[in-house]
């Protein structure tokens, strides 16, 4: 039967477009959401027309106040945030007095931009901080360190690697201006700032950031593998090297002559030896009270001063010795390292071992290529690796047990990879910057080798002999280091000017542990190194920057052999460079005359050495040397000119009442007490001190 009209109509309705009536418009869907809103007013916070502003309020050229710039740092627009940072600098340059009063608000607004997702904003913030930090006193910047470090360490773990790298750059600034808060608690773990910063470094390097128990495995905290470019890895490694250098220098109480401590029978005796040449600037008591002459030293106290304060024992510049408790405290500071700290450093070295070794092996072939100069980034990466290695493994000189011997094994492994390239020399065109970088690498290698040699000597003294293979490798490394040191020191034989160009004062100081390890090693090369050191110290000019570290180093080598607590292998009586040693000693009065009053610190070191040497009367100081010293000291006080007669010497140009003047008188008085004969020297000294503040002092000590 036919379909009904209703069914046909319903079926056609699905395909029929509804016709809209005129003026009705499109109908709203039944499930539509109404998004319209109504407001009674519109806020225009950035429009100056709506504000009543004081004419005295500091503003930028765009008439923005400090509060408005703070609001702009939270703006959604990238350009606005960048302009806010530029506005801060403009405002502070024009009105610098508002910096200190607005620091809290400024940092609270700026720290949020450390992790900003826009590269331009982060770059502008780094530039602003670079300009701002030098203008803020350290004591005013430190209270804001927790806020700065909280956001910086948080940005170190950001999901975007580029934000982590920029956070490292902010850390570099903080390490320059406020290093103490940055490294605080770095080896304690927990929520300390230093621990979080260190974990951020290791997380970026995929080195693992958490340690287990003392000898447990290292557990990585992130499963994400971040592949850094060479430039980004350089930023991280260079900053890590700075962090480790600051942390270890501020927490380990390092002594620049740590390498001599193991040659004494106890820390207390080494601490007493350190006082012999201690300069007057190291003492708080700089006054010269009334003192009496004392002919002999008291062996029970070890005090070799021949002047004594009646009121109380003093550590003034005339003495050079402290009370025994002070010496003990100082010696503890020089060598005290908690076992937990050594264990932490051992774990840290283990965590960084693969990263440091792989980075060195990746770039060493191109950096040390004999045919071309290295790329700057690659060379800087090698330098950053070597700096980190020196900071970490510099602590092995304080190891007192065998359970942390993994440090020695790791260092031996790293030196094994570096040895084929040593000595490091640039292969392309001569460039001062590249040559300086290669010299720094050579010094690091020498220092690490000396650490291993000295530690091995100390290990053998505790009856823990290394393996035959390790001894063979160490002997090879020691020989090539010896050749390098001899080549560096022999530059003064041909052209003295080359000495200053090849070695700087800092480089010579860095080489002193290496030179001592070579001298103190019972081998044929030890005498040759000591002879080269003596010859170099004699040839180098008195006005050269190398003179002071050379005099300090050689003086200590000589005085060590006169100390009854010395236990080292090096013995002056067994060396064959006796003539060179005598030449160096008798050249010291000439150095004093050439210095005049230009370098009181070096003059004081020389006079203190001569004083201690004369007091101890070693075998090397025979009567002939004593007479030579006396005759050579005469021009220092009075010069006899064939035409002009007697001319005042350099002694008279020194400040009256200074330490150097009185030390010079002490040296002459000690010579006089040993010879018991009046000669020209004493007469000229009396002429030089006549009608001066030292006249009465000379009369007293010359009785």
pLDDT tens digits along 189-242? 778 889 999 999 998 888 654 444 444 444 444 434 567 889 999 999 999 999
Average pLDDT over residues 664-672: 87
Is the omega angle on the peptide bond into residue 256 within 30 degrees of 0, that is, cis?
no
Q: Looking at the predicted structure, is the pLDDT value of residue 313 above 60?
A: no
Q: Looking at the predicted structure, is the pLDDT value of residue 566 above 80?
A: yes
209: helix, strand or coil: coil
DSSP letter string, 369-397: -TTSPPPHHHHHHHHHHHHHHHHHHGGGG
* Distance of alpha carbon 661 from alpha carbon 653, whole angstroms: 10
- What does the pLDDT read at residue 398? 59
- What does the pLDDT read at residue 257? 83
Average pLDDT over residues 633-661: 85
**218-227 b/e (C-beta count within 10 Å ≥ 16 → b):** eeeeeeeeee
What's the pLDDT band for 577 if we cut at 50, 70, 90?
A: low
Q: Looking at the predicted structure, is the pLDDT value of residue 583 above 60?
A: yes
Q: Looking at the predicted structure, is the pLDDT value of residue 141 above 80?
A: yes
Average pLDDT over residues 294-320: 39
Q: Name which residue leads in pLDDT, 112 or 430.
A: 112
- What does the pLDDT read at residue 458? 59
Q: Looking at the predicted structure, is the pLDDT value of residue 559 above 80?
A: yes
366: helix, strand or coil: helix
Q: Name which residue leads in pLDDT, 431 or 151.
A: 151
Q: Are 280 and 288 in contact (CB under 8 A)?
A: no
State the average pLDDT for the chain.
Answer: 79
Phi (first) and psi of residue 607, to 5 degrees: -65, -40
DSSP letter string, 228-279: --HHHHHHHHHHHHHHHHHHHHHHS---TTGGGGGGBSSHHHHHHHHTTT--
Average pLDDT over residues 347-356: 90
- Bin 63: left if φ > 0, else alpha if -120 < ψ < 50, else beta: left
**596-634 b/e (C-beta count within 10 Å ≥ 16 → b):** beebbebbbbbbbbbbbbbbbeeebbeeeebeebbebbb
Average pLDDT over residues 120-143: 94
Q: What's CA 572's distance to the chain center, in Å?
A: 33
Phi (first) and psi of residue 218, to 5 degrees: -95, 130
Average pLDDT over residues 436-450: 91
Angle at 446 between CA 443 and CA 450, to 5 degrees: 140
Q: Looking at the predicted structure, is the pLDDT value of residue 384 above 60?
A: yes
Average pLDDT over residues 574-596: 84
Q: Are 389 and 415 in contact (CB under 8 A)?
A: no
359: closest CA among 336, 334, 335, 379?
379
- What does the pLDDT read at residue 241? 93
Q: Are 602 and 548 in contact (CB under 8 A)?
A: yes
Average pLDDT over residues 21-33: 77
List alpha helices for 304-375, DSSP H.
324-335, 339-367
DSSP letter string, 625-692: HHHHHHHHHHHHHEEEETTTEEEE-GGGGSPTT-HHHHHHHHHHHHHHHHH----HHHHHHHHHTTTS
* Distance of alpha carbon 37 from alpha carbon 49, whole angstroms: 26
In this structure, the number of other CB atoms found within 10 A of the CB of residue 47 comes to 8
What's the pLDDT band for 386 if we cut at 50, 70, 90?
A: very high
* Distance of alpha carbon 609 from alpha carbon 654, whole angstroms: 19
- What does the pLDDT read at residue 442? 92
* Distance of alpha carbon 608 from alpha carbon 595, whole angstroms: 15
Identify which of 41-50, 84-93, 476-485, 638-647 has the greatest average pLDDT. 84-93
* Distance of alpha carbon 683 from alpha carbon 680, whole angstroms: 5
Phi (first) and psi of residue 109, to 5 degrees: -90, -30
Using only the alpha carbons of the chain, give its radius of gyration. 36
- What does the pLDDT read at residue 156? 92
- What does the pLDDT read at residue 208? 54
> How far is residue 346 from each of residues 247, 259, 342, 445, 454, measured CA to CA in Å?
15, 20, 6, 20, 18
DSSP 561: T
> How far is residue 522 from each of residues 485, 519, 528, 569, measured CA to CA in Å?
17, 8, 12, 7
* Distance of alpha carbon 242 from alpha carbon 189, whole angstroms: 19
Q: Name which residue leads in pLDDT, 433 or 8.
A: 433
| Range in 355-359, 424-428, 552-556, 591-595 the model is least confident about | 424-428
Q: Cβ contacts of residue 500 below 8 Å, gap of 6+?
A: 544, 545, 546
Average pLDDT over residues 662-681: 78
Q: Looking at the predicted structure, is the pLDDT value of residue 628 above 90?
A: no
Q: Are 142 and 180 in contact (CB under 8 A)?
A: yes
| Range in 212-226, 354-368, 480-494, 541-555 the model is least confident about | 212-226
Record the pTM.
0.77
> How far is residue 372 from each of residues 135, 311, 429, 439, 500, measured CA to CA in Å?
43, 69, 7, 17, 27
| Range in 49-58, 259-268, 294-303, 645-654 the model is least confident about | 294-303
52: helix, strand or coil: coil
* Distance of alpha carbon 266 from alpha carbon 262, whole angstroms: 8
């Amino acid at each position: 039967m036919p379909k009904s009209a209703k069914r046909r109509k319903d079926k056609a309705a699905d395909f029929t477009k509804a016709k809209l009536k005129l003026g009705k418009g499109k109908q709203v869907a039944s499930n539509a959401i109404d998004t319209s809103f109504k407001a009674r007013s519109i806020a225009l916070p950035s429009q100056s027309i709506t504000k009543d502003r004081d004419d005295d309020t500091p503003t930028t050229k765009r008439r923005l106040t400090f509060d408005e710039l703070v609001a702009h740092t939270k703006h959604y627009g990238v350009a606005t945030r960048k302009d806010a940072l530029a506005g801060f600098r403009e405002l502070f340059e024009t009105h610098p007095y508002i910096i200190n009063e607005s620091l809290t608000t400024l940092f609270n607004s700026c720290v949020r931009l450390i992790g900003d997702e826009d590269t331009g904003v982060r770059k502008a913030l780094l530039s602003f901080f670079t300009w701002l930090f030098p203008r803020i006193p350290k004591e005013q910047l430190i209270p804001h360190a927790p806020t700065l470090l909280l956001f910086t360490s948080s940005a170190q773990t950001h999901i975007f690697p580029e934000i982590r790298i920029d956070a490292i750059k902010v850390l570099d600034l903080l390490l320059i201006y406020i290093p103490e808060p940055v490294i605080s608690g770095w080896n304690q773990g927990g929520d300390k700032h230093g621990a979080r910063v260190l974990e951020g470094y290791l997380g970026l390097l995929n080195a693992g950031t958490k340690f287990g128990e003392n000898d447990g495995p290292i557990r990585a905290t992130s499963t994400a593998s971040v592949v850094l470019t060479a430039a980004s890895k350089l930023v991280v490694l260079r900053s890590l090297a700075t962090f480790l250098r600051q942390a270890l220098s501020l927490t380990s109480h390092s002594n620049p002559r740590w390498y001599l401590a193991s040659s004494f029978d106890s820390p207390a005796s080494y601490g007493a030896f350190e006082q012999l040449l201690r300069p007057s600037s190291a003492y708080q008591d700089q006054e010269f009270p009334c003192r009496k002459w004392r002919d002999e030293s008291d062996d029970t106290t070890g005090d070799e001063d021949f002047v004594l304060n009646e009121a109380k024992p003093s550590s003034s510049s005339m003495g050079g010795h402290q009370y025994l408790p002070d010496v003990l405290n100082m010696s503890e500071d020089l060598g005290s390292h908690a076992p937990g700290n050594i264990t932490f450093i051992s774990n840290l070295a283990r965590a960084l071992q693969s990263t440091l070794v792989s980075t060195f092996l990746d770039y060493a072939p191109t950096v040390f290529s004999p045919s071309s100069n290295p790329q700057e980034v690659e060379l800087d990466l090698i330098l950053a690796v070597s700096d980190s290695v020196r900071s970490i493994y510099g602590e092995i000189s304080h190891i007192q047990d065998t359970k942390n011997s993994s440090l020695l094994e790791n260092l031996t492994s790293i030196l094994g990879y570096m040895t084929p390239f040593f000595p490091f020399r640039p292969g392309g065109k001569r460039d001062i910057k590249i040559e300086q970088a290669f010299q720094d690498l050579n010094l690091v290698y020498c220092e690490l080798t000396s650490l291993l040699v000295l530690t091995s000597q100390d290990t053998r003294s505790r009856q823990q002999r290394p393996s035959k293979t390790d001894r063979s490798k160490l002997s090879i490394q020691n020989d090539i280091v010896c050749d390098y040191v001899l080549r560096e020191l022999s530059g003064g034989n041909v052209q003295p000017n080359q000495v200053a160009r090849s070695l700087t004062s800092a480089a010579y100081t860095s080489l002193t542990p290496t030179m001592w390890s070579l001298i103190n090693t019972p081998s044929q090369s030890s005498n040759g190194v000591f002879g080269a050191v003596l010859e170099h110290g004699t040839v180098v000019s008195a006005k050269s920057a190398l003179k002071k570290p050379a005099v300090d180093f050689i003086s200590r080598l000589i005085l060590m052999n006169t100390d009854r607590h010395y236990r080292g292998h090096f013995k002056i009586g067994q060396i064959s460079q006796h003539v060179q040693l005598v030449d160096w000693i008798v050249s010291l009065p000439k150095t004093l005359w050439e210095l005049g009053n230009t370098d009181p610190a070096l003059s004081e070191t020389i006079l203190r050495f001569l004083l201690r040497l004369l007091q101890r009367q070693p075998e090397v100081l025979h009567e002939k040397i004593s007479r030579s010293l006396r005759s050579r000291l005469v021009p220092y006080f009075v010069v006899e000119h064939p035409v002009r007669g007697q001319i005042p010497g350099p002694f008279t140009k020194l400040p009256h009442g200074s330490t150097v003047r009185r030390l010079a008188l002490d040296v002459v008085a000690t010579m006089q007490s040993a010879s018991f004969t009046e000669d020209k020297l004493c007469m000229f000294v009396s002429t030089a001190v006549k009608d001066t503040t030292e006249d009465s002092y000379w009369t007293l000590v010359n009785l």
